[in-house]
Chain A
């Protein structure tokens, strides 16, 4: 299953153009959803107002080279390794899910646009990436969903409680899971189940990308912006009004911060 491009098999029944149109439609949904959210929430206005205010309490002006360096460091460290989540399971789960989804989406686009024509052979690397991406998304996502969600871990809500905040992660998991199931049943020729999971896969994608306005989807764009702003504020001394790091050696170990936030 892992080396078969499920889209090219599908292209035998549905025209490649239709599949490609669907992908483009999903991309359009992301853009539209995010833009409408930004307009309604005026979050860009807030963001730039805040940056202007912060500049007033800056100790120093940052040069272009310095700014670039901070931004690059932020991208490579904070964003690429989800540093904000600190050391621990949540970060591992997020990194797994994040790269899994990236691989899954990239491989989807590549396979749909480059390898769905008749008689075009898909190099095995791409279906491998697609399936591995989906599996990584499932591992990170289900781990998060069942055990690591803060409302489950710190507030003792049952794992099956669904709230609006779960829209993104559940839709994403649905896509990855149904995608894998579709690929499996299609490659083993169980046509009924294959179609079932294909329809579910299509639906999950529509929910995921159509729900951008209501879900936490767009946070994947906002958070990197916030991380860059935070590191620039740290560099120019404004630091969001926080005091600077203390000038003292790290000699006492961890106290109450050594434990997980689960004391009940």
Chain B
């Protein structure tokens, strides 16, 4: 499969180049616009498609097994916290889906651990991680298993 870039929409901003996990979106030397240089390493992850501010990138299913004439397009709207999809079958059937992508303003409720309360003395020697045991929402402390229950070999 693979991504491809619409000539009329790409203006060479570089967001796709910057985000592609496979490092296959690059800038064409003749027209200074994006192009997929290695379609056989494209996972169809849609990271570039979502990142493009002009919706200039689209996907054509892998030539090995995907007949032509289909379309799966997306609109990721960070400010609204939504992702919208439009699927179009080869036979023209369309399906639309909208889902949330966040429930909170981006990053606002992610703590900067340098600024939270320091762990108590000696806590480094415990088995507890940050937020624990409270963050587990259970009564009592972290579960454990008594060492004398350890059995070697085939047990059951």
Contacts and interface: CB of A to CB of B under 8 A. Distances in A.
Q: Is any CB of A less than 8 Å from a CB of B in the complex?
A: yes
Interface residues of A, number: 41
A261 B19 CA distance: 8
Main secondary structure of the interface of B (DSSP, over half): loop
Contacts of B30: 163-165
B32 A252 contact: no
A192 interface: no
Contacts of B102: 252, 255
Contacts of B150: none
A63 interface: no
Contacts, number: 124
A261 B13 contact: yes
Interface stretch (A5-13, A14-22, A98-106, A243-251): A243-251
20 contacts: A85-B11, A85-B13, A155-B14, A155-B26, A163-B29, A163-B32, A164-B30, A166-B32, A226-B8, A241-B88, A242-B75, A246-B77, A248-B77, A250-B80, A251-B80, A252-B79, A255-B106, A256-B51, A257-B78, A261-B18
Interface of A: 84-86, 90, 149-151, 153-155, 163-166, 216, 222-223, 226, 229-230, 240-246, 248-258, 261-263
Interface of B: 8-9, 11-15, 17-19, 26-32, 51, 53-55, 71, 73-75, 77-82, 84-86, 88, 96, 98, 102, 104-108
